[in-house]
Homo-oligomer: A and B are copies of this chain.
Amino acid sequence: MPKEKQSKLGITTKKNENFAEWYVQVVRKAELADYASMKGFIVLMHYGYSIWEKIKNLLDSRFKESGHKNAYFPSLIPESFLSKEAEHFSGFTPEVFWVTHAGNSKLSERLATRPTSETIVYDSYAKWIKSWRDLPLLLNFWNSVLRAEITGTKPFIRTSEFLWQEGHTVHANRKEADEEVFMILRIYQNLIENILAIPVLIGKKSDSEKFVGALYTTTLEAMMPDGKVLQMGTSHNLGQNFAKPFEIKYVGKDEKEHFAWQTSWGVSWRLIGAAVMVHGDDKGLVLPPKIAPIGIVIIPIFYSKSEKELVEQKITNISEKLSDYGFNIYVDDREQYTPGWKFNEWEMKGVPIRLEVGPRDIKENKITVVRRDTFERNKIDEGKLIEELERIFNEIQRNLFNKAKNYLENHVTRVNDYVEFKDVLEKKGGFLKAYWCSKQDCEDKIKMETGSTIRLIPLENEKASGKCVYCGENTSTIAFFARAY
């Protein structure tokens, strides 16, 4: 294949030159996702789906370990359900897809394609829950939701349909609902930091940024390489805000009727987009080993027929050992491509480790191992291959996390006044940590004037106090502002 054609297959822009264009190229050229013909929709291709399956399987087992069960609710929701909780309704209606006809018949009531399931789920919960014995009710749903996104769409990050999970739990009292909210937050944090290798800041949303209908919303926020922040997941205490209109009541041990307390929480395929943004480089995707569908790609290198046989035999031998041990390997023995072409392809697809098996190495009982994150090449004794691969996987996972962690820490700036605020926001981006008087008026003005919003309020207040970055009023509340996706 001519050189020129090879390079066109690669990423044609640099991550630090045109981040938005780089991102879309990586997503499409690594074949994670493709655009669908309808604007705002994407197709999750099988390579991207494999990553989603990894995330899903991990989360699913953690949900199950903590007592949650899966179920499935309809994807269409009557308008009258959505409108039972007024704030919730006004928050979602602008982006709801409405079903108005079945076949040629006009429906007597419009149905929303599920933008989130609170209302239809709570209609059933009200029927199912009678007594304290029915609590807690801990359910989770793996499904897709639809929210019409017209502007600023971006694969995985903002699409008109996305895959996610939504948990919906019911508890006897506020304390248990609070505990649930934070237990889930820790499960999410563990997934995002230890599996996706993306460090997060956690905290509560301000009232104007919380989930429509929630008592409070907790959030996990990550730093993207362009200085913008991405919300990775949220866990809400819904209080009794839905229990009252939906009449979710239980008879307690005291034999009296009580309204229940509820939580809901979710993460979506957006996590895949975050991993692309945070870890990718100018060659394409860089996958943390723990979510990589293929951990190790093996490339045969030979120039003659006798070398070919030698190499193929060695590869059969090694790949059996590695598969038996539990590594996900792929042997790229396609004859129509050169080794160099294959290197580019698998680098683009972010496979963490490449093994090159050639005749010279074989004679020395060595294998060449190349790391995707640093491109470091090493010849490794065949006898030590498994332990070395284990070590390198751990190192890659740690290295990706540490790099992202350094970046995050360098992008949290304490600012004391509004001039500094605007200056740092323009020049550096990232999180701006500032005192805030807790009034929505200041929050709104900052948003209007700078495009930055309160991403989170730390869970523990500082003991000191200071002046609101906007109005100067004394306050002990710290908020983290940022421009966000």
> Which A residues are closer than 8 A to B by beta carbons?
34, 36-38, 41-46, 48-50, 52-53, 69-76, 78, 81, 93-104, 111, 113, 120, 123-124, 127-128, 133, 139, 143-144, 146, 148, 150, 161, 163, 336
Chain B residues with CB below 8 A from A37, complex form: 78, 81, 120, 123
- B72 with A49: CB separation less than 8 A: yes
State in angstroms the CA–CA spacing of A41 and B75 once bound together: 10
State in angstroms the CA–CA spacing of A144 and B74 once bound together: 9
Chain B residues with CB below 8 A from A42, complex form: 74
- A113 with B72: CB separation less than 8 A: no
- B94 with A69: CB separation less than 8 A: no
- B43 with A103: CB separation less than 8 A: no
- B97 with A161: CB separation less than 8 A: no
Q: How far is the CB of A92 from chain B (nearest CB, A)?
A: 9
- B38 with A74: CB separation less than 8 A: yes
Q: Give 14 new A-B contacts, CB below 8 A, not counting A97-B102, A98-B102.
A: A36-B74, A38-B74, A38-B76, A44-B73, A46-B70, A49-B70, A49-B72, A50-B69, A72-B163, A96-B103, A98-B99, A100-B100, A102-B148, A133-B336
Number of identical monomers bound together in the oligomeric complex: 2
Q: How far is the CB of A39 from chain B (nearest CB, A)?
A: 11
Chain B residues with CB below 8 A from A101, complex form: 97-98, 100
Chain B residues with CB below 8 A from A43, complex form: 71-74, 124
- A75 with B144: CB separation less than 8 A: yes
Known contacts: A69-B46, A99-B99. The answer to whether A161 contacts B113 by CB under 8 A is no
State in angstroms the CA–CA spacing of A156 and B184 once bound together: 32
Q: How far is the CB of A192 from chain B (nearest CB, A)?
A: 21
Q: Which residue of chain B has the shortest Cβ distance to A336 in the bound complex?
A: B133
Q: Which residue of chain B has the shortest Cβ distance to A334 in the bound complex?
A: B133
Known contacts: A71-B43, A72-B49. The answer to whether A38 contacts B103 by CB under 8 A is no
- B44 with A75: CB separation less than 8 A: no
Known contacts: A99-B97, A104-B94. The answer to whether A161 contacts B74 by CB under 8 A is yes
- A74 with B41: CB separation less than 8 A: yes
Chain B residues with CB below 8 A from A72, complex form: 43-44, 49, 52, 144, 163
Q: How far is the CB of A254 from chain B (nearest CB, A)?
A: 16
- A46 with B100: CB separation less than 8 A: no
Q: Which residue of chain B has the shortest Cβ distance to A159 in the bound complex?
A: B74
Known contacts: A38-B111, A69-B46, A72-B44. The answer to whether A103 contacts B99 by CB under 8 A is no
- A36 with B96: CB separation less than 8 A: no
- B161 with A75: CB separation less than 8 A: yes
State in angstroms the CA–CA spacing of A161 and B77 once bound together: 12
Our pick among B34, B93, B124 for the contact of A34 (Cβ within 8 Å) is: B124
- A102 with B111: CB separation less than 8 A: no
State in angstroms the CA–CA spacing of A146 and B114 once bound together: 13
Known contacts: A43-B72, A124-B34. The answer to whether A100 contacts B103 by CB under 8 A is no
State in angstroms the CA–CA spacing of A11 and B2 once bound together: 73
Known contacts: A70-B46, A97-B102, A133-B336. The answer to whether A76 contacts B113 by CB under 8 A is yes
Contacts A/B (CB < 8 Å), 18 sampled: A34-B124, A36-B73, A36-B123, A36-B124, A37-B81, A41-B74, A50-B69, A75-B75, A75-B146, A76-B146, A94-B103, A94-B104, A96-B102, A98-B100, A98-B102, A99-B99, A99-B113, A100-B101
Chain B residues with CB below 8 A from A148, complex form: 102-103
State in angstroms the CA–CA spacing of A52 and B141 once bound together: 13
- B74 with A46: CB separation less than 8 A: no
Known contacts: A36-B124, A38-B111. The answer to whether A71 contacts B100 by CB under 8 A is no
